[in-house]
Amino acid sequence: MFANILFNLTGYQNSLLVLGKVVLAFVVAASAAWLFGRLWDIIAGRLAARSGLGLYINLVMFSHRYLVIITFLVFLKLIAVYLSSDLGTGIFGAFDKTLYVAVVIVLALLVDLGVHVVVDWYSREYFAKTQGSLEQFLPLIRQLARLLIYFIAFTFILEYFGKNIKGLIATAGVASLAVALAAQETLSNMFAGLMIMIDRPFRPGDRIELDKGYIGDVLQIGTRTTRILNAENNVIVVPNKDLANSRIINYVYPTPHIGIKLEVGVAFNSDINKVKGILKKIIAENARILDEPAPGIYFSGYGSSALNISISFSIRDFRDRLSIVDELNMSIKESFEKDGIDISVQAGILP
C-alpha cells in the first residue's frame, strides 16, 4: 500500500514537473518574441525612418505583430523538440503539427499583408504623382495575389500531412485553363487594357482619332473597354483589344498645343502684300495664338478662281480650335470687306 502511494505521488510530481516545463517554455517563447519585437522596432524602424520612404515605414509597422507571433511559434517548436521525451510521442506529434500549420498560416497572412501594403502605397503615392490609369487594375492584382498566396500555403500544409497534392495542382490547372478559354475575349481586352495603361499612348482627357475616323476625348480607360466622348456629346465604347490593334492619332501628346492651317482665297486682282499685312495684324491681335512657333502667312498658289493664301499657326489648347478658327474667319471677312478686298474663300481646317 505504501509503495502504491509512493508510486502515485511520484507520478503526480512528474506531471507537475512536465507541466512546469511546458509553462516555462511558453514564458521563454513569449519573452523571446517580445525581445525580437523590440529589436525589430528599433533596428528596422530606424532604418525605415532613415530611408524616408513611406513604404518601408508601413511594412515595418504592420509586420510587427506577425513577426512576433512567428518568433513565438518557432521558439515553441524548438523547446517542444527539447521536451519531446517528457511530452510523449503522441502529444509531441500533435503539438508539432499544430505549430507547423500555425506558422504557415501566419506566414501567409504576413505575405498577404505585405502585398496589401505595397499595392496601397503604390496606388496612393505613384498615381498621385503620375496621374496613372493603372490603379483600377490594382484591386484585381491584389485579389489574384491573395488567392495564390493561400493556395500555396494550403498545398504546403497538405504536403506536410502526407497528402498527394499532384491531383489538386492538376485540377487547379485544368480549372484555370477552362476559365481562360471561357473568358478568352474578356482576358484579351483586359491584357490589352493593361498594356495601354503601361505604354500610355493616350490618357484620360486626351483627344484622339482612331483609324476608323472616330474623334473624341478619352473619358476612361477601363479594364475591358475605353470610353470616348465625341463632338456630339455621345460616348463611344471601344474594346481595349481593338484600340491596341489600331493606329491612333493623339492630338495632345506630347503637348496639348495644336497646329492649325487655314486656306483663304482672294480675287486675282488683289494686292498680295496688303492681304498679308491684314492677315498678320489679325493674327497678332488674337491673344490665344502662340508666338512660338511663329505664325506663317504664305502665297501658296493659284486656284481656279482665286489666289490662295495659307495661314499656319499654333494654339495652346486643342479644345479652342473651333472657336479660334471662327474668330479668325469673322475678322478676316470684316477686314477684307472694309478694305475692299474681294473674298473667294476656299477654306479648310487642317490640324
Q: Among the three residues 162, 177, 192, which one is the final residue of a domain in this structure? A: 177
Same-domain status, 283 and 332: yes
Same-domain status, 283 and 206: no
192, part of any domain? no
pLDDT band at 206 (very low <50, low <70, confident <90, very high): confident
Looking at every residue in the chain, the average pLDDT score rounds to 76
Residue 104: exposure state from Cβ atoms within 10 A (0-12, 13-18, ≥19)? middle
pTM of the entire predicted model: 0.51
Q: Among the three residues 224, 250, 276, which one is the final residue of a domain in this structure? A: 250
Same-domain status, 141 and 229: no
13, part of any domain? yes
The total of structural domains in the chain comes to 3
pLDDT in tens, 291-304: 888 899 998 888 77
For the range 296-304, what are the long-range contacts, defined as Cβ-Cβ under 8 Å and sequence gap of 24 or more? 299/272, 300/263, 303/265, 303/344, 303/346
pLDDT recorded at residue 16 = 58
Span 233-237, mean pLDDT?
Answer: 86
Domain range enclosing 101: 2-177
Place of cell 496612393: 124
- The answer to whether the beta carbons of residues 68 and 36 sit under 8 Å apart is yes
Query: Residue 302: which CATH number?
Result: 3.30.70.100
pLDDT band at 49 (very low <50, low <70, confident <90, very high): confident
193, part of any domain? no
72, part of any domain? yes
349, part of any domain? no
40, part of any domain? yes
Q: Which three cell numbers stand for residue 139?
A: 484591386
Q: CA-to-CA distance for 45 and 114, rounded, in angstroms?
A: 16
Residue 207 DSSP SS3: strand
76, part of any domain? yes
Same-domain status, 242 and 264: no
Same-domain status, 10 and 91: yes
Place of cell 492649325: 260
